[in-house]
Amino acid sequence: MPLKATDPHAKTLILLALWDIGAAQQEVNKGLLTKRIVPKGGKIGDFQEVLDQLSAEDLMQVVGKKVFLPAKGMEYLSAGMNNPEFLFKNQIGAKTGNSLLRWIREMGTINNEASSLVASTENAAEKKPPSDSLARIASYEEFKQVALDVYDNLNRDYNLDNLVPIYRIRREIGDRVTRSQFNDWLLEMQANDIFQLMGGEMPDITPDKAEDSITTSLSGLRYYAKRLNS
C-alpha cells in the first residue's frame, strides 16, 4: 500500500530509511532513498506527496540530487520511534527490520512497543540491549573524550586525512550537548592544544554546514578540526 502524506508513520519510516543510509552524517544521493522506500513495481511518484511534506517541514533537506537528514528530522524520527502508536499491522521486510534493529543498537532510545516489532523478525535474536551512549554530556572532560572518539571514527571510516569537518563532529554528537556547549568546549580543546581548528576551503559547503561549523573570535569561521599530537 503506497505511503500517504497524512500517515505520520510513513514520515517516520522514510526518515528511518534516510538515517539508515547515512544521511544524518552527510548528503547522500536521492537514488539511495528511492531504492529503500519504493517497492518492486512501484514508482517514486507514489511517495512524492509525503516527500514534499517532509521537505516543507524541514525534516528532510534536498539539494539538487542530494538529500540530507537535519537535526529537526532526527528529532521527529526519535519521537516517532518512541510513539506507542508506531506499530505495524502487516509483515515488514528485512530492510525495515534491520533498520529498526540498527536504531536500537546505536541509539538505544526505542520504546518497548517498537522493540517488540523487531522481536517478531528473523533477526530479533541479534538484538543488543539498549545502551546509555546517548546520555547528555555533563562535563568538559566527558565531551573531550567523546569528541576525540568521534573524530577518530570519522577520520578512519571516511579517510579524511586528519582534517575532519567540524559540522560532522557536531552532528555526530547531536543533542547530547547544546550548540553553545559544543562551541565552548571545542574551543577549549583548541586552547589546550588537543585540536587545531582550521579554515581553508570546503568544496561542498552549504549554509547549514557553515552554520554547524564554528567561529573563533580572532580567526573567523573554522571548518575543520585537526588532532594535535600530545
On whether both 83 and 160 belong to a single domain, the answer is no
pTM: 0.45
190 is a domain residue: yes
Asked if pLDDT for residue 150 goes beyond 90, the answer is yes
Identify whether 133 is part of a domain: no
* C-alpha to C-alpha distances, 157 to 110, 154, 164, nearest whole angstrom: 26, 5, 11
Supply the range of the domain harboring residue 53: 8-126
Average pLDDT over residues 6-15: 76
Dihedral, CA atoms, 6, 36, 106, 27, nearest 10 degrees?
Answer: -90
Residue closest to 25 by CA, chosen among 78, 67, 82:
67
State whether 91 and 59 are in the same domain: yes
Task: Tell me if 134 is assigned to some domain.
Answer: no
DSSP annotation of 204 = T
In this structure, what CATH number is given to the domain that contains residue 61? 1.10.10
Both 110 and 175 in one domain: the answer is no
**What is the predicted pLDDT for the residue at 145?**
94
Which of 27-41, 94-108, 181-195 comes out lowest in average pLDDT?
Answer: 94-108
Do 145 and 122 fall within a single domain? no
Contacting residues for 31 by C-beta, under 8 A, at least 6 apart: 65
At 226, the pLDDT band (50, 70, 90 cuts) reads very high
> Within its chain, how far is the Cα of 80 from the centroid?
15
The amino acid occupying position 68 is F
The mean pLDDT value for 84-90 works out to 65
Q: What is the pLDDT of residues 93-134, one digit of tens each?
A: 666 666 666 666 666 544 443 444 444 433 433 333 333 446
pLDDT in tens, 63-78: 888 989 888 888 888 8
pLDDT band at 48 (very low <50, low <70, confident <90, very high): confident
Residue finishing a domain among 64, 95, 126 = 126
Mean pLDDT of 167-193: 93
Say what the pLDDT of residue 106 is. Answer: 67
Scan for cell 556547549, then name that residue. 181
Distant-in-sequence, close-in-space partners of 205: CB < 8 Å, separation ≥ 6: 223
Give pLDDT, residue 92.
58
CA torsion through residues 178, 184, 190, 193, sign: negative
- Region 208-226: mean pLDDT is 87
CA distances 118 to 88, 126, 189, Å, are 10, 10, 40
